[in-house]
Amino acid sequence: DVKVTQSSRYLVKRTGEKVFLECVQDMDHENMFWYRQDPGLGLRLIYFSYDVKMKEKGDIPEGYSVSREKKERFSLILESASTNQTSMYLCASSHGGANTEAFFGQGTRLTVV
């Protein structure tokens, strides 16, 4: 089975802290994604990566950055956490090309106080 693992289920951070959310996949997928999920808004794409060291902005990249130094790992970075970044963060991965589906991690519930 494909496994996408997010390092933390729950995180509580203070305003202004630098926050790292880690995601690892074990299926040699080319694509990896970070989504943010908020009630009534569904999932919104923050960033995605289609190869090592490659990244593209999604729909809501402001306040976030990403890092992909190895194919299996994709990190989301909040440079200076703010309370409006309190949310559920979901990582996903998929093979490159067409006709593929995305597999999701369990999510990280981040609270910024």
Partner 1 sequence: AQSVTQPDIHITVSEGASLELRCNYSYGATPYLFWYVQSPGQGLQLLLKYFSGDTLVQGIKGFEAEFKRSQSSFNLRKPSVHWSDAAEYFCAVAPFTGGGNKLTFGTGTQLKVEL
To partner 1, the closest distance from the beta carbon of 36 in angstroms equals 11
Q: In this complex, which beta carbon is closest to partner 1, that of residue 3 or of residue 18?
A: 3
For position 1 contacting partner 1 by CB under 8 A, the verdict is: no
For position 53 contacting partner 1 by CB under 8 A, the verdict is: no
Residues 13-52 that bind partner 1 (CB under 8 A): 31, 33, 35, 40-45, 48, 50
- Total residues in contact with partner 1, by rule CB under 8 A: 29
CB atoms within 10 A of CB 45: 16
Handedness of CA 27, 32, 91, 100 (dihedral sign): negative
For position 94 contacting partner 1 by CB under 8 A, the verdict is: yes
Kindly calculate the radius of gyration of the chain based on its CA atoms and give it in whole angstroms. Answer: 13
**CA separation for the pair 51, 65 (Å, rounded):** 16
